[in-house]
Amino acid sequence: MEIITTPIKDLLIVKPKIFTDDRGFFFETYNENRYKELGISQNFVQDNQSKSSYGVIRGLHFQHNPYCQSKLVSVTIGKVWDVAVDLRANSATYGQWFGVELTEENHLQFLIPRGFAHGFSVLSKTAVFSYKCDNFYNPAADGGILFNDPDLNIDWKIPTDKMILSEKDTKHPLLKDVTLNF
């Protein structure tokens, strides 16, 4: 397993070791001991999965303290553009975002620490997206930032006329208008 750093501190890409032969492939999607050896010590307590079609954008979501969550995300079917935005008040990269393409072929995982907003867009016909969380979901702690906030200027890699969003995700405030407690 390999850890790939990003320009944003603590935001990591995990590249698992894949074993392949003429039958297919095998890899560990998570092994607590191996992750701890690499400095990833989150105690994951909840697993989630979603299925979406091309053009769906989910995000940008986060949970307010004390319910904020770290997430270890991956794609089991299809391809997504996964984005994390640094919301940590004392971070040198506050308000900056980083994206990575996660696919069923590359098997990459994206570790998004607490204090980040998260979202993704589906680039394939369908995608099954999995994520481990280190805190339980609490609906009262839900927070969000508008996916097309002009100050963030995120390229979702989907033409505007093909974007599919929930009503909720079209009504989040801009980052400059969000009250944060990270």
Q: What is the pLDDT of residues 164-181, one digit of tens each?
A: 999 999 999 999 999 998
For the chain, the 3-state helix, strand and coil shares in percent, each to the nearest 5, are 10, 40, 50
Residue 182 pLDDT exceeds 90? no
Note the pLDDT tens digit of each residue in 123-142. Answer: 999 999 999 999 999 999 99
Phi, psi of 170 (to 5 degrees): -90, -5
Q: Residue 131 catalytic?
A: yes
- What's at 18, amino acid-wise? I
- pLDDT value at position 99? 98
> What is the per-residue pLDDT across 143-155, written as a single tens digit (0 to 9) for each?
999 999 999 999 9
- How confident is the model at residue 56, as a pLDDT? 98
List strands edge to edge, sheet with 109-112.
2-5, 12-15, 109-112, 71-77, 126-133, 46-53
- Single out the residue of 81, 108, 92, 84 nearest to residue 163, CA to CA: 81
Q: Which of 35, 118, 131, 172 is catalytic?
A: 131
Class of domain 44-177: mainly beta
Give the domain ranges of the chain. Answer: 44-177
The average pLDDT across 63-75 equals 97
Structure tokens at 157: 């890699």
DSSP letter string over 128-164?
EEEEEESS---GGGEEE--TT-TTT----SS-GGG-B
Q: Which of 61, 107, 118, 172 is catalytic?
A: 61
Q: What does the mean pLDDT of the chain come to?
A: 96
Q: Is 61 a catalytic residue?
A: yes
Helix (H) or strand (E) holding 59, with range, is strand 57-63
First to last CA, the chain: 30
Instruction: Order the strands of the 116-122 sheet from edge to edge.
Output: 97-103, 79-86, 116-122, 57-63, 142-144
Question: φ and ψ at 36, to 5 degrees?
Answer: -65, -40
- State mean pLDDT over 106-115: 97
Q: What is the mean predicted confidence (pLDDT) over 8-34?
A: 94
Region 109-122 average pLDDT: 98
Against a cut of 0.75, is the pTM above it?
yes
Q: What is the pLDDT of residues 41-59, one digit of tens each?
A: 999 999 999 999 999 999 9
pLDDT of residue 21: 93
Q: What is the average pLDDT across 107-122?
A: 98
pLDDT-above-70 percentage for the chain: 100
Residues with Cβ within 8 Å of 72's Cβ and at least 6 positions away in sequence, in order, are: 14, 30, 40, 42, 44, 109, 110, 111, 112, 131, 132
